A and B are shown apart, each in its own frame.
Chain A
Amino acid sequence: MSDTLSSSLTRRDFLSTSAKLGAFIAAAPYIARGADATGADQVNVAVIGCGEQGRILINAALKIPGVRFKAVCDIWPVNRNYAENILKKFGHDPKPFEDYRELLSTVKEIDAVIIATPDFKHAEHTVAALKAGKHVYCEKLMSNTIEGARSMVVAARETKKLLQLGHQRRSNPRYIHAKDKIVTGNRLLGRVTNITGEWHRAVSADLGFPAGKGLSEAKLAEYGYANMHEFRNWRWFKRYAGGPMSDLGAHQIDIYNWMLGVNPRSCMASGGVDYYKTHEWYDNAIAIFEYETKEGIVRATYNVLTTTSAGGGYHEYFMGDEGALKISENPKATKLYREARAPEWDEWTAKGVVAAPLSGEGAPPAVKPWEKVGVKKLAGPSKATVDVRETAALSAWDIPVTLDKAIHQPHLENFFDAVRKGTPLNCPGEAAFASAITILKINEAVAAQKTLTFAPGDFIA
């Protein structure tokens, strides 16, 4: 047998064996032509950057009706081949390119470009695609420089083409529900006074590459990379990226700004290269922001740690005087808590704004009233005033919204809807620019070791 363990080959081999029992014929019931879901207008798409994030976006976009990939571009054949192969499995026939300039000048029928290259290339690739008349979906962080980010907004403005940045939480239906129906809409948290957020990631080794498949020094230099190690681990080097605050924190701090509807007025931060020996960017950093809202000051902290998974990953925690919302892309880390002083939430449960504790899909079987564990209500004089037992857990409500798609799919759908029918973008360049400024100022505050203040004009491109 060959060493190559292709699942499709395996299946064919097994079926040919099974056919001797007639099972192959029986397999027919499982195979049927599905309903035709191609009613949507076709959008022709190219991808520039087919590494890890590019693949995630390709796989998510493949689930959107009407999206046709016409070209893929990556300087590394390993990434380019992966993208070509997965797209061909779905019946697409993309033309492969090493150089994005050749792609943009050759494949004329492209409507939109998805850009998932390292941060230091975002501005160059985005501006070129916009000026070539394409709409652009570009991964966050917008750019590793303020000038780069500004040039992207200006190019979109001048070309009148769409520019969406990949802060995908803004299109997540659970986040939208939380903002519109819980925090801003019905004010279930009362006055928001504080925010904390974190992304804790366990230690990970530097990325390598398959033997014999590295790019030549000349090729790396042509595209701006010092060597193969930096090409594979660009997130950790200052000439290519903005470090962990940019890679991880950008998603969440963008949500701070989005949820509050304002940008911070000051930032202090601390961080350092305390653990890894092969990185330029800090491996842990902590930032403190002040936001001035109509209701008063909101103080916010954010931690990004890349040497421990303690705490269970990543979330944003909005705290108010009547309730708190812990929200994450991971639904298991999403909960709502009501302060004892706040009005009951029965009304909001009935209206579907929140889901009662221990309800919804995946909840344990309903507990009978006589089985409930907790502090009993005060009873009459002949009864005990309280049954003393272990501390009852606080009630945690849920958000009754399911993300029924791949995590990045709603944000891509929003972009393609904007291309097709003018739907407003959920994260246009101007909004993403404000978040990019917030993130890049954290790095500046770490370096300066002092508090930086912002003027409202700082956030305008």
Chain B
Amino acid sequence: MNWPEFHHEAMATTFAILIADHPRDYARQAAASAFRELDRLESELSRYVESSDIARANRLAPGETMAIGDDALQCLLIAADVSLATYRAFDAAYASVRAPDQPDHAPLFTLDPASHTLTSHTARLHLDLGAVGKGYALDRMAAHLHEWDITTACLQSGGSTALALSAPAGHAGWPIGIGEGPNHRALSLTHVALSGSGIAVQGAHLIDPRTGAACPRTTRTWARARTAALSDALSTAFFVFSDEEIAAFCAAHPGIGGASAVSSTQLVTHGTLVPSL
């Protein structure tokens, strides 16, 4: 299993691409091309880049409308869908400041896919795609590799999301591990994304957007989904969810898997992660 691996720093972390079954030089060129796409996406999606669509959206006055690029639109649509499906356990706009007369249930912003515009409806919009943008970038990079006829690859962003494409020749899938110590499990995955959320690496507590309070959970959660954008966003939602809410979500959404470390020796799994673990 000596597959060529390529690295690139973007979005405040390190991305990596493993490519199997192609000559190394060709794999390197394709990976470099995918990383250029990643840099372009960062310039559109990062709230830290002054001229990005997201930074510009965060400077909108209440009621103001702006044109946005297709990637910002698609990523925000995914974020909005996940926010609604998780009843705001994931919310890319949770840090926004509502206008005093704005009802709690009113949307903070609206998107018009036909005209590629975003309208702010709040006193100060604060969009942060940090928990979905890296996954979205992995999906776009995979699509980019597909243009190079590369389908046997595994992509990851900062160790928190892995996107497995077709398996290398002679293998059932890409070897991907979750958990640590007695909780460590080895998976063999294809055509699926797996993301983890926790506080061990960055140290800070995650906020529950539904209450504004710090999440009581201290151990990691994982989400499995068909795309990296979804698994990225859902792993954050699962960290906010109770174990019962993760179970209910996975039961209601075929194709989604969830896991949580309930102790140093026990992983609880739901949905599509049950047979894997």
Contact = CB atoms under 8 A, between A and B. Distances in A.
Contacts of B230: 10, 14
Contact of B56 (A8, A11, A210, A404): A404
Contact of A17 (B36, B69, B110, B255): B255
A8 to B, nearest CB: 6
Nearest to B153: A3
A405 B49 CA distance: 11
Given A6-B143, A62-B116, 4 more contacts: A23-B81, A52-B36, A207-B29, A208-B29
Contacts of A384: none
A59 B26 contact: no
A392 interface: no
Nearest to A329: B51
A212 B149 contact: yes
Interface of B: 25-26, 28-30, 32-33, 36, 50-51, 56, 59, 65, 67-70, 74-75, 77-78, 80-82, 84-85, 106-107, 109-119, 136, 139-140, 142-143, 146-149, 151, 163, 165-166, 191-192, 225-230, 252-256
Contacts of A89: 70, 116
B51 A30 contact: no
Contacts of A205: 28-29, 32
B114 A27 contact: no
A30 B115 contact: no
A404 B85 CA distance: 32
A331 B50 contact: yes
Contacts of A207: 29, 32-33
A211 B28 contact: no
24 contacts: A1-B192, A3-B142, A3-B151, A3-B165, A7-B136, A13-B255, A14-B81, A14-B85, A15-B81, A29-B107, A31-B110, A32-B119, A37-B67, A37-B115, A90-B70, A205-B28, A205-B32, A209-B29, A210-B30, A211-B148, A331-B50, A402-B50, A403-B50, A403-B51
A185 interface: no
Contacts of A382: none
B173 to A, nearest CB: 13
A208 B139 CA distance: 21
A406 interface: yes
Given A6-B143, A10-B78, A31-B110, A211 B149 contact: yes
Contacts of B112: 31-34
Given A18-B253, A26-B84, A205-B32, A7 B74 contact: yes
A-B residue pairs, 10 tightest by C-beta: A208-B29, A34-B117, A34-B112, A32-B110, A30-B80, A63-B67, A29-B107, A35-B65, A10-B227, A210-B148
